[in-house]
Amino acid sequence: PKESIGDYDALLDVIDWDLNVDTHLMQNRFMAPISVKSEAEMNAAGYSEKWICYKSAAFSAKELTVLPGKTVTIKDSAAYGMIMMQGRGKMGVWEIETPSSIRYGQLTNDEFFITEKAATEGVTITNESTTDPIVMLKHFGPENPDLVL
């Protein structure tokens, strides 16, 4: 609120101090990556996918890695946004790439929204590199049907 601008005490009141000094933080909050299938099965198909945010029905996230030179089709049950972390290739008809730097006003091919229809039909991703994996983060909204709490 306008009346709280510069009021650092008001800012400190927003912090949940009990939560921030949780002596069981690792047990209560830490989320080690969890593979969505067996790693051997995914690696044989040319990819790896892990849940990286999964303790809330309000939002969730996965990390998808497509191995060099591979083409995969990945299905999800919900719409999602994605952001590239590493690599370059194609996602459907779209070029995808991770820019090394972004100048003000410059367009990039590193963020996309995948509709529920496209996600359920399957998104085809091709890694055009022979050495570099594609790594992307996929973030989902509330009530992701694939998320088991």
pLDDT of residue 33: 98
SS (H, E, C) 66-102: ECCCCEEEECCCCCEEEEEEECEEEECCEEEECCCCC
Report the percentage of the chain scoring pLDDT > 70.
100
User: Domains of the chain: which residue ranges?
Assistant: 32-140
- pTM for this entry: 0.86
Please name the amino acid found at residue 127. Answer: N
pLDDT of residue 32: 96
Report how far residue 123's alpha carbon sits from residue 121's, in angstroms, rounded to the nearest whole number: 7
Q: Which residues contact 47 (CB under 8 A, 6 or more apart)?
A: 64, 65, 66, 67, 70, 72, 74
Model pLDDT for residues 3-61, shown as the tens digit of each residue: 888 999 998 988 998 888 899 989 988 999 999 999 999 999 999 999 999 999 999 99
Mean pLDDT of 114-133: 98
CATH architecture designation of domain 32-140? Sandwich (2.60)
